[in-house]
Amino acid sequence: MTEKFTFPGDFLWGTASAAHQVEGGNVNSDAWLLEHVAGSPYVEPAGDACDHYHRYPQDIALIAALGFNCYRFSIEWARIEPEEGEFSRAALEHYRRMLAACHDNGLTPIVTYHHFTSPRWFAAKGGWEVLENADYFVRYCERATAHLGDLIGAACTLNEPNVGLLIQQMGYMQPDSVLANAPYRAAAAKAAGSAMFSAFPQCLQAPARDTLLKAHPLAVAAIKAGRGSFPVGLTLALSDHQAVDGGEATRDRMRQAIDDVFLDVTGQDDFVGVQTYTRTRFGAQGILPPEPGVELTQMGYEFWPEALEATMRYTASYSGKPVLVTENGIGTEDDTQRIAYIARALQGVRRCLQDGIHVRGYCYWSIFDNFEWTMGYRPKFGLIAVDRETQKRTLKPSAAWLGAIARANALESVS
Ligand code: GCO
């Protein structure tokens, strides 16, 4: 039986992006350097990306025209503070214009202060692996807020500070002991003219975790003390951790180490940003491979749209905070599969709301097919395709489909 479910009146409907993945020409960032060294973990460089740095006026108008009421994007530290202590008024003004464009188009801007990339000088000082370096991030947050705060609708400090731990546990990234001697680290340090070079998320996770845990609450305090008044939170990479055949203890241990430690520093936050793509199953011995018979996405993840509901419920009950879905999506060439994925994920959002969980909004990752980090441009997460030669944007059916749901602020509920 189907009936109509209406979302709360202030529900945020949006899509998400991140500076390095869409702007293009982010040459002063640590990622850009790492993309170009011998033995780089990146299959290709970001290059011009989607040239969103120049095309944001049309892009933002397009997002609004589709029916969304918010846009999550990140401001780029490497542009705002190109050298240590040297802040670029021009770069800050660029982001002011982006924020103003959101408002002009009726979109609430959700700003991420740090979405993986940092300035080269920060990486050359050991980046997140050095505890004292948290202070550089906090100072940047202060300066950015002083310039932009009156136009910000909501803010995320760090994007997925736990993602390195998660992908390391899943076997997608080497353990710290191996990473420490990765030839590209030495090559990057040499290129940066430094004794060390550490770029997130390919950094040593144990020391980076401590710096990130220190930085987040300090950044929240700095942002809240600054210009403007808007909700502030942390986003986390949250996989639906499932226990199978006696895997409960392993699952709980992993959840504690990857998720709970970060949720434990959200005390002053206004929401937790939930970013979920799939599930992870744990047996008594550790992580299990994908279950035979379950479809895989381009990322090699299990197609498991209900993962979002599980992580929202876990996060809300563990933290006692409202949740905002800051990312949920699928890498696929098949847009019908994308629609099926989102449709099922949204039923989970609906069930959470019906159970009284405070969900502030849903942002699909991503607005464009963009630079999927080490995997380059192959995975297609976008609602909009981008021609890599001409930069021409082409709407996929999912863009109009999700935009219509956003505009209606309602969904047919399927039980
Ligand atoms: C992350 C980031 C995004 C990714 C997205 C798809 O999770 O790595 O927040 O930058 O592109 O998650 O993998």
* pLDDT tens digits along 214-251: 999 999 999 999 999 999 999 999 999 999 999 999 99
- For range 109-120, the mean pLDDT: 99
Q: Residue 233's closest CA among 325, 118, 353?
A: 325
Q: What is the pLDDT of residue 147?
A: 98
Atom 7, ligand 1: residue with shortest CA distance = 237
CA–CA separation, 405 vs 193, rounded Å? 51
Would you state the structure tokens that stand for residue 259, as one six-digit string?
């998720």
Using CA atoms, how far apart are residues 118 and 197, in angstroms rounded to an integer?
A: 11
Residue nearest (by alpha carbon) to ligand 1 atom 4: 372
Q: How confident is the model at residue 171 (pLDDT cuts 50, 70, 90)?
A: confident
Inform me whether the pLDDT recorded for 412 exceeds 90.
no
Q: Which residues, at least 6 apart from 286, have a Cβ–Cβ distance to it below 8 Å?
A: 250
Q: Does residue 415 surpass a pLDDT of 80?
A: no
Task: Inform me whether the pLDDT recorded for 1 exceeds 70.
Answer: no
Atom of ligand 1 nearest to the CA of 299: 13
Say yes or no to pLDDT of 298 above 70: yes
Ligand 1 neighbourhood includes 110 CB (under 6 angstroms): no
Ligand 1 geometric centre to CA of 306 (Å): 18
Q: How wide is the angle at C-alpha 409 spanned by C-alphas 405 and 410, nearest 5°?
A: 75
Residue nearest to atom 6 of ligand 1 (CA): 372
**Shortest-distance Cα residue to atom 10 of ligand 1:** 18
**Ligand 1 pocket member 372 (CB < 6 A):** yes
3-state secondary structure of 165: helix
245 class by beta-carbon count within 10 Å (0-12 exposed, 13-18 middle, 19+ buried): exposed
Token pair for 116:
């993986």
Question: Which spans in 16-162 are helix H?
Answer: 19-22, 30-35, 52-66, 77-80, 89-104, 120-124, 134-148
**Cβ–Cβ contacts within 10 Å for residue 231, how many?**
17
| Choice among 23, 35, 160, 309 that is catalytic | 160
Spell out the domain ranges in the chain.
2-414
Spelled out in words, what is the top-level CATH class assigned to the domain 2-414?
A: alpha beta
CB distance 369 to ligand 1 below 6 Å: no
What is the rounded CA–CA span in Å between residue 201 and residue 205? 8
**CA gyration radius for the chain?**
20
Residue keyed to tokens 């009284």: 356
Q: Six-digit token pair at 75?
A: 């401001």
pLDDT digit string (tens) for 79-105? 999 999 999 999 999 999 999 999 999
Query: How confident is the model over 30-53, as pLDDT tens digits?
Result: 999 999 999 999 999 999 999 999
Q: Would you call 160 a catalytic residue per the annotation?
A: yes
- The whole-model pTM stands at 0.97
Task: Tell me, in angstroms, the distance from the centre of ligand 1 to residue 294's CA.
Answer: 22
Does ligand 1 lie within 6 Å of residue 163's CB atom?
yes
Is residue 325 pLDDT above 90, yes or no? yes
The residue whose CA is least distant from atom 11 of ligand 1 is 372
Q: Provide the pairing of β-strand 108-114 with 70-74.
A: parallel
> Residue 272, SS3?
strand
Our separate counts of H helices and E strands in the chain read 16, 15
User: Rounded mean pLDDT of the chain?
Assistant: 97
Ligand 1 contact via 275 beta carbon (within 6 Å): yes
**Residue showing tokens 């050095």:** 130
Distance from Cα 312 to the centre of ligand 1, integer Å: 17
